[in-house]
Amino acid sequence: MLNSAPMAKINTHYEKLKAGYLFPEIARRVREFSSLRPDAKIIRLGIGDVVLPLPKSTREAMKKAVDEMAEASTFRGYGPEQGYDFLREAIALHDFGARGVKIHADEIFISDGSKCDSGNIQEIFDGASRIAVTDPVYPVYVDTNVMAGRSGEVDSSGRYAGIVYMPSTAENGFSPALPQEKVDLIYLCSPNNPTGTVMTHEELKRWVDYARAQDAVIFFDAAYHAFINNPELPHSIYEVEGAREVAVEFRSFSKNAGFTGIRCAFTVVPKELTALNRSGGRSSIHALWNRRHCTKFNGVSYPVQRAAEAVYSAEGQREVAEMIRYYMENARIIREGLAALGLKVYGGVDAPYVWVKTPQGLGSWEFFDLLLKEAHVVGTPGAGFGPSGEGYFRLSSFGFRENIEEALHRVKSRLSGAALR
């Protein structure tokens, strides 16, 4: 008999995570409210989940692919882990080639989501890498580094000791300063979730130059690029010279083509991107990401990849543009409606999120409660995206028009004028 039997122990880094992941925590609070007020008709503008049905072109392509799977002669089993060439080539051509950016099809890795990819990318870098995030930020970037043991402990303001936070607030025009200390991995998101602001070419160049000078790597999340209206704004970090040596880019079909429930995204890892290895030489990030992808992932299903390919057909492009127009009109209604009530609003012009300064110095969660209780409208508290998000609130334009209009009507009629200024 063993006296000191080994015991299964958990990864202690998980104990450093804040209570729950943001969106399930919001859902929990809304369920709690609903159970007390079952009569309340709640309008959800919290999580950025699409509501419009899948474009016809993508449905048709998916159905055709399913039918192919029904015949022995056209049936397909495991596909290439990195994705089928037909989709990788369509992406290289339409998303990059058309903007004068050279990305090769084999630098594109098809996956089931940008959330997973932006969360997983850190694991091929050293455990001691110093990470920098803009603050507020999509919580996945921070939480996955906490899980990996790079964060240290959290303080009472919600900051982890080992993470470099770059405040991004109205005071600096949501354009954070470069870090003062040496960092290795930098997370950038443009159009930004949650602030709805977009980096200009000059701003992006500043980051690329910085990363090149510091031998740092940028993780560039462009999941919302399709919502950019202003033709002057860059869609891809590779529009900046020199970015191929320092950046990984994440893209998704979730928000532009309504694939949140279908799952398809991709990550671009240029062949020139390298980082120091333990022998003091340099290793290819492309090769390592490929190694990881093939080990942990078996590819996106064939019908889904055919559906994603259809997004690039003439009909698909027309349908997607129409959906984006619909959501961006929602964004305009939210933005202008709240501004008319005296609130300070940001974003929502080249991004589907409207970032609102909470009135009366209310905390983000206080404003969340006020809006839920009085107007039965759900948004996302800015503090959930990081300490500098405190005092802000995010509203998503991914809703049906009548709900957006009703939400604004309720805010106007149920929250007194004084409560909003």
| Chain residues that interact with ligand MLT, rule: CB under 6 A | 47-49, 115, 193
Tell me the residue number closest to ligand MLT, measured at CB. Answer: 48
Given the complex with ligand MLT, which of 115 and 335 has the nearer CB atom? 115
Closest CA to 79 of 65, 93, 91, 90: 65
C-alpha radius of gyration, the chain, whole number: 22
Residue 268, C-beta contacts closer than 8 angstroms, at least 6 positions apart? 96, 103, 107, 108, 109, 238, 248, 249, 250, 251
Minimal distance, residue 140 CB to ligand MLT, in Å: 7
Given the complex with ligand MLT, which of 115 and 159 has the nearer CB atom? 115
Quote the CA–CA distance of 354 and 345 in Å, as a whole number: 7
Given the complex with ligand MLT, which of 48 and 391 has the nearer CB atom? 48
Minimal distance, residue 93 CB to ligand MLT, in Å: 26
Minimal distance, residue 57 CB to ligand MLT, in Å: 23
Minimal distance, residue 47 CB to ligand MLT, in Å: 4
Minimal distance, residue 154 CB to ligand MLT, in Å: 21
Minimal distance, residue 114 CB to ligand MLT, in Å: 7
Q: Kind and range of the H or E element at 254?
A: none
Given the complex with ligand MLT, which of 117 and 184 has the nearer CB atom? 117
Minimal distance, residue 180 CB to ligand MLT, in Å: 28
Given the complex with ligand MLT, which of 48 and 386 has the nearer CB atom? 48
**CA atoms within a 13 Å half-sphere pointing along the CA-CB vector of 297:** 22
CA-CA-CA-CA dihedral for 87, 253, 190, 361, to nearest 10: -170
Closest CA to 248 of 276, 272, 278: 272
Given the complex with ligand MLT, which of 84 and 138 has the nearer CB atom? 138
Quote the CA–CA distance of 293 and 82 in Å, as a whole number: 7
Task: Quote the DSSP letter at residue 54.
Answer: P
Q: Is 189 left (phi over 0), alpha (psi -120 to 50) or beta?
A: beta
Given the complex with ligand MLT, which of 48 and 270 has the nearer CB atom? 48
